[in-house]
Amino acid sequence: MAKALLGYVHSDLRDPRADADNARLRKRVAELESLVLRLSEENDRLVAARAAELVDSVPMPQMQPA
């Protein structure tokens, strides 16, 4: 009954390779998440710098008296 409620969970305690593989995959996922965060922050910084360059390079029109 418990398996029907929780679903099938494979837990073969005699095979430590599965645990080692899961640990390796979790570590790799954490590394990739960190890389995505770093690249996203770098991209935001580059976009802001480029926007500032574009704003600074656009000449302001001369104001004419009314």
Torsion of CA 6, 23, 29, 35, to 10 degrees: 150
Q: What is the pLDDT of residue 15?
A: 77
DSSP assignment of 23-63 equals HHHHHHHHHHHHHHHHHHHHHHHHHHHHHHHHHHHSPPPPP
Q: What is the pLDDT of residue 34?
A: 98
Q: What is the pLDDT of residue 3?
A: 59
Q: What is the pLDDT of residue 58?
A: 73
44: tokens are 């935001």
Whole-number Cα distances in Å, 8 to 2, 13, 55, 65: 9, 15, 59, 79
pTM: 0.59
List average pLDDT for each run of 10 residues in the chain, which is 66 residues long. Answer: 58 75 94 98 97 84 73
